[in-house]
Amino acid sequence: MALEGLPVSALSQDEAGIDIHVAEDGATYAENALLKAEAVSRAAGLPALADDSGIEVDALPEELGVHSARFGGEGLGEGGRNRLLLERLKDVEESRRGGRYVCVLAFCRPGKEPVYFEGEMRGKILRSPRGEGGFGYDPLMYLPSNGCTVAELSLESKNRISHRGRALSAFRGWLAGELGVGDVRDS
């Protein structure tokens, strides 16, 4: 877990008995993450951490991003969204097939200003899916530095280098500083 070794206890929304759904209707990742974190923090009376994430594709700058999970319409599943993305990119040259995953975390505490943490993972969009792991657009996101798609990474590797993993690492470092403890992790 991302906070292992720190003197804190983390609860999921379910574990905290919070049964709310927050509409992700913000214009940015930060706005969506803040909507969720503020709602849960208010409901629980405790600090809350929430994220929003998505994929951005160079050739389709206005179409994914905060709308990644709804790309192609609400009823379209992961496979359908991947097929739609491939169809939209079928005539796009390699130089414009770049993409990145982005994650923004918002941390809210009662009576304090929210704090944000961002992570990204860059790659390029393949012409056909590869790999069985991961979810969402992972079979299409190729990482040249790793020589594989995100769907071909082990869970441990993905958690270490992903956009969400990087944002969580930044949060962990900040929280360790706030708590006045070293950020020592088991290796």
Q: What is the DSSP letter of 127?
A: S
Specify whether the CB–CB gap between 55 and 126 falls below 8 A.
no
Q: Which residues are catalytic?
A: 52
| Residue 161 in tokens | 């280098």
Specify whether the CB–CB gap between 61 and 95 falls below 8 A.
no
Of 21, 106, 27, the residue nearest 65 (C-alpha): 27
Determine which helix (DSSP H) or strand (DSSP E) holds 99, and give its type and residue range.
Answer: strand 98-108
Of 13, 29, 42, the residue nearest 164 (C-alpha): 29
